[in-house]
Amino acid sequence: MPVDLTLTDEQASIQETVRRFVDERVLPNAVRNDIEHHLDMGVIEGMAELGLLGAPIPEEWGGQGLDFISEALICEEIERGEAAFRTLISVHVGLNSLALLEYASDEQKERWLRPQARGEKLACFGLTEPAAGSDVAAMQTTAIRQPDGSYLLNGSKSWISYASVADHALVFAKTDPAARHRGISAFVVEPKEDAGVTTSDYRDKLGVRAGSTGELAFDDVHLPADRRIGEEGEGFKIAMYGLDHGRFTVAAGAVGVIRACLEATVRYARERETFGEEIGRRQMVQDKIADMVLDYETARLLVWQAAVRKNQGVRNTRETSLAKWHATEAAFRTAHQAIQVHGAVAYDAETGIERYFRNARAPIIYEGTTEIHKMMQAEHALGYRRMNG
């Protein structure tokens, strides 16, 4: 089967538009926002105006109806500028909106998906808990059905991107605590409106300091029956579906980190001289740059492979897992090598290089650690797990 990697005119136009937006609106303030732990809501408003917060959502639900190659290009360019804004795409679009598109009723889509796709409301995804990360079935948050059919939500979620600014949260809780993952259900919570919901932010994080990361806490939150997405007990399936989309955007964003570090390192290697020669002439520097090139090309190919399967509408857990695992590890490795080539210069926050290094560490953990993805791939190869089909 022939493979054509040429971008369509529409895809190339989207790439150029987002690249220009990042150059003009994100990069000029990226270092200062990171240093000051400042979430620039003006950039998010700009992303909404461009339609980036609903890019792959069909036009009938307020989105742009773009394909997943376009979504990958958007994430690559956005994270070339700042990881915090690609993280927003991951939780708002990948984890939340696309899950609603698949599992919500038309009435629920009208109420929550449409304003999200238009960028009028921001959304987050509440799965992780202090004692439940990779082991989702260990979650302790409960949503107990009441005699009138409503639910009473209690518990907490941790390390939730955009928890304190989101209008809508797709939250997972046990409706049958004894049934482990089969007893998990999904609900839409409105943190700014629902009584009993409190949010808080983490401050001194290693990376993604220009973004919002925090906690959601639920104390006897009353949820009408129409807040449940899907059937009772479908929550685990909905969460895994969302993760397939969220992991894809993480992988695509990591490609942007690799490219940013590669471009910065090439520029520096041509400008910096030692012993009367550009350091780019040094074999060890070339060795590092060659590794960056290989990581960029392979990571992008794995992301695009997953994108093609998404465009075909077939399950892509295996391809997305591979892309997320490889691209995030490659991004951190490339940022490390970029610092090595730049030397002491890269230790200065004003250069921006150390920001890429710090920001590239978290994606190796969230939305499936490297170890989880290795286990998934090995078990699939061994026949113990069927990821696709």
Domain coordinates in residue numbering, the chain: 9-117, 123-236, 240-382
Fold of 240-382: Butyryl-CoA Dehydrogenase, subunit A; domain 3 (1.20.140)
CATH superfamily ID and name for 123-236: Butyryl-CoA Dehydrogenase, subunit A, domain 2 (2.40.110.10)
Residue range 370-385: mean pLDDT, rounded: 96
Is residue 297 annotated as part of the catalytic site, yes or no? no
Fold of 9-117: Butyryl-Coa Dehydrogenase, subunit A; domain 1 (1.10.540)
pLDDT, tens digit, for every residue of 36-66?
999 999 999 999 999 999 999 999 999 999 9
Residue range 289-312: mean pLDDT, rounded: 98
CB-CB contact of 175 with 143 (8 Å): yes
| pLDDT at site 4 | 80
Residue 19 has pLDDT above 80, yes or no: yes
Question: In the chain, which ranges are continuous DSSP H helix?
Answer: 9-21, 27-35, 41-49, 68-81, 83-88, 98-103, 106-108, 114-117, 235-271, 283-312, 317-342, 353-359, 370-382
Residue 1 has pLDDT above 60, yes or no: no
Residue range 1-23: mean pLDDT, rounded: 91
Q: What is the mean pLDDT of the chain?
A: 96
Q: How confident is the model at residue 5 (pLDDT cuts 50, 70, 90)?
A: confident
Q: Is 240-382 in the same CATH topology as 123-236?
A: no
pLDDT, tens digit, for every residue of 68-108?
999 999 999 999 999 999 999 999 999 999 999 999 999 99
The count of other CB atoms within 10 Å of the CB of residue 110 is: 13
Inter-helix orientation angle 68-81/283-312, to 10°: 140
Percentage of residues in the chain having pLDDT higher than 70: 99
Residue 2 has pLDDT above 80, yes or no: no
CB-CB contact of 298 with 224 (8 Å): no
Percentage of residues in the chain having pLDDT higher than 90: 96
0.75 exceeded by pTM: yes
Annotated active-site residue in 71, 79, 329, 367: 367
Q: How confident is the model at residue 389 (pLDDT cuts 50, 70, 90)?
A: low
